[in-house]
Chains A and B, each alone.
Chain A
Amino acid sequence: MDLVDRIAQTNRWSQRHPAEKMTLGGGLLLLSVILPAIPAAPLILLAAVAAVLAGARVSVRDYVAVFAAPLAFLALGAVVLAVSVQPDAGAPWLAVSSESATVAATVTLRALAATASLLLIVLTVPLTALLRQAHRLRVPAPIIEIAVMMYRFVMLAFVMAARGRQAQANRLGYAGFRRATRSVGLLAATLLPRLLDRARRLEIGLATRACTGELRTLAPAVALSPAFLRCAIALHASIAAATIAWITLVPSPP
């Protein structure tokens, strides 16, 4: 989560209007669901990956690190879909039929395209921008304030946990399984009281700034780029058109 947040906050598109990236990513996500997986899914996958790597300039290493977990899940799912168990005597126990292979490939491709589209939004729209957008969409203030505080404290917890772990490691707290287990337990036990203490001190900090009970803030207005939106919609239209053309021109297998 720390990595996702860092990417979302530092990518080249991080300061773009969230609606632009949500239009691009959301459109691709919709297409991945409604269009036939072949040939739409590979095109959507390509577009989403290119947008993240070439457009938002997320490093390949970071992207792979984030994509690894859903990829592993999808790969496991593909194997389960492709391989069938045959308990009949004489036949091999595990078999892959052409039908099951097609189903596995189709479902996996569609899921990959949808995941890449979703990651496009997750990795380019910072949570802070998302919350500002929620405020503009008149989501009740208390919900946004709770989300803001949760975000702040989750990030603080990450920092405190990392520092605590480092401090333990410096004193050989992770030398051996038993010590490591004990260190993790101690760290977890101290983290909550320390966060609560931090929360109490933050309460004083907010009071010193004439807090009235409402956590209202302002952010500079970000202009919505019509050119970006036009490009995004043109990309969606191109993928849809290519898919329709493929279906029309390429005969489906008997």
Chain B
Amino acid sequence: MTALPPEALIEARDLHYAFAGGIPALNGVDFAVPPGARVALLGANGAGKTTLLLHLNGSLKPARGTLRLDGENAGYDRAALQRWRARVGLVLQDPDDQLFAGTVYEDVSFGPLNLGLTETVVHARVTAALEALGIADLAARPVHMLSFGQKRRAAIAGIVAMRPRVLLLDEPTAGLDPHGVSQLLAALDALAAAGTALVLSTHDVDLAYGWAETMALMDRGRIIAQGPPEEALADDAALARAGLRRPLLMELAIQAHAAGLVTAGRLPRRAADLAAWLKSAHEGNGAPAGAPRNDSA
């Protein structure tokens, strides 16, 4: 069992769950989300990422294991679930599973109204959420007249307007064009800056590598590696089991190091970091000044 941070907002221990027919989905998951964390959940299709997110939001109840919210055991009665979902928001993979109202504005107002807020507060939250996701101009648009990317942002706005402390996003970048991904990441950065903990499930290792502070690799209902990206992605066997590859930037840095182009230093996480890293090495410093070494390289 992995050691979990003591101050976690959500803490899952030894979660087990099986679909109808006994098909195992979670096989003893230990997972924690500390306050303000940026966690990427990676794994192949069917690894259990969505099932884990549905557990973290209380939408599924584990067959075995415990879930704790702010240090207290999670309850599954109506009132407890209300409190849970006010704190932990989940954006589903398919926005059509979430959008139901006539217009974008109406749909985004649904969650905050369920929290019992006054109409004035709800209007303010809806406006802020639409602006944060860059879709204020779509407020009056019917949801069936949105593009896929717009629907996705509307679905995220619907959860953001509830101002959860933890935001779970199931494959939020799937189907988005590069500009849409950039807009989404900018919106997520703003949420993270405001103190929201973010958990994002994805297959996109390059995106996750540049974005996450912590990565968790899943395979067949288990978390097989967890930690800072450089550590979580260091194990070739774990990567192969999770059906993943190393991020291009990480691979380049490792190859550059292996070829003796650079001596050491913290692995670059973004293109600009890589450029600085190589420039510094080219100038004979071996690594950017002050950058910590990383043994996994």
Measured CB to CB, the residues of A under 8 A from B are 5-6, 9-10, 14-15, 126-128, 131-132, 148-149, 151-152, 155-156, 158-159, 198, 201-202, 204-212, 215-220
Rounded to whole Å, the gap between the CB of A124 and the closest CB of chain B is 14
Closest 4 CB pairs of A and B: A128-B102, A217-B106, A205-B98, A218-B109
Our pick among B102, B113, B140, B162 for the contact of A131 (Cβ within 8 Å) is B102
Indicate with 1 or 0, residue by residue over B85-97, a CB within 8 angstroms of chain A CB atoms: 1100110101011
Q: Which one of B28-36, B115-123, B274-282 contacts A? A: B115-123
Interface CB pairs A-B, < 8 A, 23: A15-B140, A126-B102, A128-B102, A148-B101, A152-B144, A202-B98, A204-B54, A204-B97, A205-B98, A205-B99, A206-B110, A207-B59, A208-B159, A209-B85, A209-B98, A209-B110, A209-B162, A210-B82, A217-B101, A217-B107, A218-B109, A218-B119, A218-B126
Indicate with 1 or 0, residue by residue over B102-134, a CB within 8 angstroms of chain A CB atoms: 110111011101110001001100100000000
CA distance A151 to B123 in the complex (A): 24
Q: Write the chain A residue with the least CB distance to B119.
A: A218
Say yes or no for B149: interface residue by CB 8 A criterion.
no
* Chain B interface bracket (under 10, 10 to 19, 20 to 34, 35 or more): 35 or more
Rounded to whole Å, the gap between the CB of B95 and the closest CB of chain A is 9
CA distance A5 to B97 in the complex (A): 22
Q: Write the chain B residue with the least CB distance to A127.
A: B102
The prevalent SS among residues of B at the interface is helix
Contact A204/B59 with A159-B144, A209-B159 known, Cβ cut-off 8 Å: yes
User: Apart from A6-B145, A131-B102, A210-B162, what are 18 other A-B pairs with CB-CB below 8 Å?
Assistant: A128-B103, A128-B142, A198-B97, A201-B92, A202-B97, A205-B92, A206-B100, A208-B85, A208-B98, A209-B98, A209-B158, A210-B114, A210-B115, A217-B101, A218-B119, A218-B126, A219-B103, A220-B139
CA distance A138 to B145 in the complex (A): 28
CA distance A207 to B58 in the complex (A): 9
Most central of A209, A210, A216 by chain B CB within 10 Å: A209
Contact A152/B139 with A217-B110, A219-B106 known, Cβ cut-off 8 Å: no
CA distance A110 to B229 in the complex (A): 74
Say yes or no for B57: interface residue by CB 8 A criterion.
yes
Rounded to whole Å, the gap between the CB of A15 and the closest CB of chain B is 6
Most central of A10, A132, A206, A208 by chain B CB within 10 Å: A208
Say yes or no for B200: interface residue by CB 8 A criterion.
no
CA distance A6 to B111 in the complex (A): 27
Our pick among B92, B96, B102, B159 for the contact of A151 (Cβ within 8 Å) is B102
Say yes or no for B215: interface residue by CB 8 A criterion.
no
- Give every chain B residue within 8 A of A148 (Cβ-Cβ): 100-102
Rounded to whole Å, the gap between the CB of B213 and the closest CB of chain A is 24
Say yes or no for B15: interface residue by CB 8 A criterion.
no
- Give every chain A residue within 8 A of B140 (Cβ-Cβ): 14-15, 220
Instruction: Please determine whether A204 and B106 come into contact, CB atoms closer than 8 angstroms.
Output: no
- Give every chain A residue within 8 A of B101 (Cβ-Cβ): 128, 148, 152, 215, 217
Q: Write the chain B residue with the least CB distance to A206.
A: B100
CA distance A211 to B107 in the complex (A): 12
- Give every chain B residue within 8 A of A5 (Cβ-Cβ): 142
Q: Write the chain A residue with the least CB distance to B102.
A: A128
Rounded to whole Å, the gap between the CB of B141 and the closest CB of chain A is 8
- Give every chain A residue within 8 A of B197 (Cβ-Cβ): none
- Give every chain A residue within 8 A of B225 (Cβ-Cβ): none
- Give every chain A residue within 8 A of B86 (Cβ-Cβ): 210
CA distance A217 to B161 in the complex (A): 13
Rounded to whole Å, the gap between the CB of A200 and the closest CB of chain B is 9
CA distance A79 to B172 in the complex (A): 59
Q: Write the chain B residue with the least CB distance to A145.
A: B100
- Give every chain B residue within 8 A of A208 (Cβ-Cβ): 57, 59, 85, 89-90, 92, 98, 159
Q: Write the chain B residue with the least CB distance to A155.
A: B144
- Give every chain B residue within 8 A of A211 (Cβ-Cβ): 110, 114
Instruction: Please determine whether A217 and B109 come into contact, CB atoms closer than 8 angstroms.
Output: yes
CA distance A151 to B215 in the complex (A): 41
